[in-house]
Amino acid sequence: MPAPLSVPSDQVRIALGDRSYDIRIGTGLLAAADTWQGLPAAASALIVTNTTVGPLYAARLRASLLPHYKAVFEVVLPDGEAHKDWPTLNLIFDALLRHGCDRKTVLFALGGGVVGDMTGFAAASYMRGVPFVQVPTTLLAQVDSSVGGKTAINHPLGKNMIGAFYQPERVVCDLDTLATLPARELSAGLAEVIKYGPIYDMDFLAWIEANIERLLRREPDALAHAVRRSCEIKAEVVGQDEREAGLRAILNFGHTFGHAIESGLGYGEWLHGEAVGCGMVMALQLSRRLRLVDAAFADRVTRLIERAGLPTVGPALGADRYLELMRVDKKAEGGQIRFIVIESPGQAGLRSAADDVVRGVLADCTR
Amino acid sequence: MPAPLSVPSDQVRIALGDRSYDIRIGTGLLAAADTWQGLPAAASALIVTNTTVGPLYAARLRASLLPHYKAVFEVVLPDGEAHKDWPTLNLIFDALLRHGCDRKTVLFALGGGVVGDMTGFAAASYMRGVPFVQVPTTLLAQVDSSVGGKTAINHPLGKNMIGAFYQPERVVCDLDTLATLPARELSAGLAEVIKYGPIYDMDFLAWIEANIERLLRREPDALAHAVRRSCEIKAEVVGQDEREAGLRAILNFGHTFGHAIESGLGYGEWLHGEAVGCGMVMALQLSRRLRLVDAAFADRVTRLIERAGLPTVGPALGADRYLELMRVDKKAEGGQIRFIVIESPGQAGLRSAADDVVRGVLADCTR
């Protein structure tokens, strides 16, 4: 008889030497006592959450943590990418200092990618580093942002420009939390799930195509497989290149165009996953124009992005503005934009492209 | 015939595996071409300096860097510990983004401890990490803060609360820059030089006692020896404990009391080195009250601190306020303050102390 899903049926290991950790994937994990065993000992813990997720899940997490810490504090941030900035980050530092938290205090990031990125950077920086645990409650955070140790805040001139590589002690993906996710956020998360197909695993792409309706209906076993396989691929890539010296950059497929959309419209206008979904369409068209893949392949992935409920046409910011925004992308070097392209189905690479070619893509993909 | 000092006559190695680097100590280093060989290649460099040091030395550094980078930018921060905060740090990020600096851009910290700490944290955080070089122009920065990778900014509730362990590519101590140092800053630097005696090397303490007048007259060979021996000791300690899991804490001798003075008076009222000098007197009295050292030893070191031109009596903030400020010290755990004490001459350790004993010390040492 198979183990019930309420027991952590799945664990994916991120192998990074003395910074290795597990991703636990299952249902009922927030309330399960053994989810929280074996974390670093400390007098206090701080739950960092937001105004949307906090009311739904903070009490459950708090109850599970109380046996382990003398004091469990909480700080509630405003919700949304528009608040992924210094003043909001400083709310975490204020709470840590006001409560007398010390160098051993453990931070718990309860929320989506914004909460995870900010909590991670706060943990990296508070007293030059305290432990933290990711408890992602969105599909996007479970399959991508909570795994791999990238933490950051935005700067008015660029997304994720200020941050650190800093690994969590553990990632806890409780699939139950996806039940309350708005449909738009579910689709945004599917963008990062779909991403793993063209860059790494065509079998997974085929599985997503066959199961996209089940994912949109939030069937637990479909979600469990999507999260696990996504985390496995991310674990393989990050394990080989923690600090993005090379390979890891492929995980940014769609992100160079996507960041320009987010930044150009103002953070929060489009969800990050929506911008990435549309950015992947642009990156596929770029790959096609560079004659790396054929139109059928680009159309196939674009169709899946559309079926996931994501935008496939970008906002008309103007090609000059897109190019300007992309030149401050972190992958750019000496003013040269570097794009993640699909070299062949299931394999991605980093390439430069002439401005004219990029302008052609933008003309095709914006309106 | 001994090599002239204008050739980097001294190099101290910080051995930290793939984060190892050299401290170069000598005169004429800013202008010497070979000082700047072998740093990571990049399209651009950013000199971070302040309104005091910039006009004196930035042009010299810039001229030396121009052969190595297509563009050398500069950002000038307001001077002083009071500006070691987020808005000032953000001036560095603004400059980096405005100039289109990328993930390879090298930052050069030209100034004292504040410039070094802020540039280091900016380098640690910009695009999750770019290389940086320390070019300390104060005695304090040359013998202490530029070495070892501690970077940080202050928070209104505590000093150096937000930062990172992030090692520079190189430290360049040009002793010529000490010629323009105000007398008060020279004395502040001597506090950190003297520190290495009681915690680690009684022979060095005796040497400082014999040479304190020559150091105050800024005789180059005396300064060179003081900087080199200080860096050697710091290298030995940091090489054993980069992230302050244990031994490294001894370098904070005098700093727990000192940080309380700085924070209690408002940053910038006393220089950091002045607060540390006075804090060492308090820590010596604490060591005496804990019967670890005798009065003669405490008086001997106190006398040297006084001869260096440093305050030996602290401001009357009130014992309650001192205790409150010290409880947010980074070494505190679960609200328990941990003091660096002298266990025996030349050896330091970490101890707790009853509040009454600390109150006795404060009664003796403040006015």
For chain B, give the secondary structure using H, E and C: CCCCCCCCCEEEEECCHHHCEEEEEECCCCCCHHHHCCCCCCCEEEEEEECCCHHHHHHHHHHHHCCCCCEEEEEEECCCHHHCCHHHHHHHHHHHHHCCCCCCCEEEEEECHHHHHHHHHHHHHECCCCCEEEEECCHHHHHHHCCCCEEEEEECCEEEEEEEECCCCEEEEEHHHHHHCCHHHHHHHHHHHHHHHHHHCHHHHHHHHHHHHHHHCCCHHHHHHHHHHHHHHHHHHHHHCCCCCCHHHHHHCCHHHHHHHHHHHCCCCCCHHHHHHHHHHHHHHHHHHCCCCCHHHHHHHHHHHHHCCCCCCECCCCHHHHHHHHHCCCCCECCECCEEEEEECCEEEEECCCHHHHHHHHHHHEC
Q: Is the pLDDT of residue B148 over 70?
A: yes
Q: Is the pLDDT of residue A7 over 80?
A: no
Separation of alpha carbons A241 and B231, rounded Å = 34
Domain A10-180 CATH class label: alpha beta
Region of A308 on the Ramachandran plot (φ > 0 left; ψ -120 to 50 alpha; else beta): alpha
Q: Where in chain B is the domain with CATH 3.40.50.1970?
A: 10-180
Shortest alpha-carbon distance between residue B331 and chain A (Å): 7
Q: Is the pLDDT of residue A2 over 80?
A: no
- The ipTM, to two decimals, is 0.93
Of A97, A104, A125, Cβ closest to residue B163: A125
Q: Closest Cα to residue B150, out of B177, B123, B182? A: B123
B304 pLDDT band, cuts 50/70/90, is: very high
Please give the pLDDT value at position B9: 59
Please give the pLDDT value at position B330: 87
Please give the pLDDT value at position B185: 97
In terms of DSSP bridges, do strands A10-14 and B170-174 run parallel, antiparallel, or are they unpaired?
A: unpaired
Two tokens, residue A365? 């993909």
Please give the pLDDT value at position A158: 86
Query: pLDDT above 90 covers what percent of chain B?
Result: 92
- Asked if A125 lies within 8 A of B334 by C-beta distance, the reply is no
Of B102, B126, B331, Cβ closest to residue A332: B102
Overall average pLDDT of the A13-23 stretch:
95
Average pLDDT, chain A: 95
Query: pLDDT above 90 covers what percent of chain A?
Result: 92
Please give the pLDDT value at position A140: 98
Q: Closest Cα to residue A198, out of A331, A349, A312, A337? A: A349
CATH hierarchy code of domain B183-365 = 1.20.1090.10
Q: Is the pLDDT of residue B170 over 80?
A: yes
Q: Is the pLDDT of residue B2 over 50?
A: no
Q: Is the pLDDT of residue A154 over 90?
A: yes
Shortest alpha-carbon distance between residue B3 and chain A (Å): 40
**From A228, A272, A288, A289, active-site residue:** A272
Separation of alpha carbons B132 and B128, rounded Å = 13
Q: Closest Cα to residue A115, out of A26, A33, A46, A210? A: A46
Q: Is the pLDDT of residue A102 over 60?
A: yes
Which CA distances in Å does A335 have to A125, A258, A280, A332, B320?
A: 29, 18, 22, 6, 55
Two tokens, residue A216? 């949109």
**From A244, A289, A330, A338, active-site residue:** A244
Residue-wise DSSP of A349-363: EEE---HHHHHHHHH
Q: Is A150 a catalytic residue?
A: yes
Which residues of A lie closer than 8 Å to B, measured between beta carbons? 43-44, 70, 86, 90, 93-94, 97-98, 100, 102-104, 124-129, 150-152, 155, 157-158, 161-165, 243, 327-328, 330-335
Q: Note whether A113 and A134 are within 8 A (CB).
A: no
Label residue B143 exposed, middle or buried (CB < 10 Å: 0-12, 13-18, 19+).
buried
A9 pLDDT band, cuts 50/70/90, is: low
B8 pLDDT band, cuts 50/70/90, is: very low
Please give the pLDDT value at position A199: 98
Please give the pLDDT value at position B241: 94
Overall average pLDDT of the A61-73 stretch:
97
Shortest alpha-carbon distance between residue A102 and chain B (Å): 6
Of A97, A161, A164, Cβ closest to residue B124: A164
Average pLDDT, chain B: 95
B1 pLDDT band, cuts 50/70/90, is: very low
Torsion of CA B226, B228, B234, B238, to 10 degrees: 170
A50 beta partners: A77
Cβ–Cβ contacts within 10 Å for residue A295, how many? 11
List pLDDT tens digits, range B312-346.
Answer: 999 999 999 999 999 988 888 888 899 999 999 99
Q: Is the pLDDT of residue B207 over 70?
A: yes
List pLDDT tens digits, range A301-328.
Answer: 999 999 999 999 999 999 999 999 999 8
Shortest alpha-carbon distance between residue B94 and chain A (Å): 8
Separation of alpha carbons B110 and A152, rounded Å = 26
The model's pTM: 0.94
List pLDDT tens digits, range A251-283.
Answer: 999 999 999 999 999 988 999 999 999 999 999
Separation of alpha carbons B231 and B26, rounded Å = 13
Q: Is the pLDDT of residue B265 over 70?
A: yes
CA-nearest residue of chain B to A243? B128
List pLDDT tens digits, range B62-88.
Answer: 999 999 999 999 999 999 999 999 999
Q: Where in chain A is the domain with CATH 1.20.1090.10?
A: 183-365
Please give the pLDDT value at position A157: 86
Q: Is the pLDDT of residue A5 over 50?
A: no
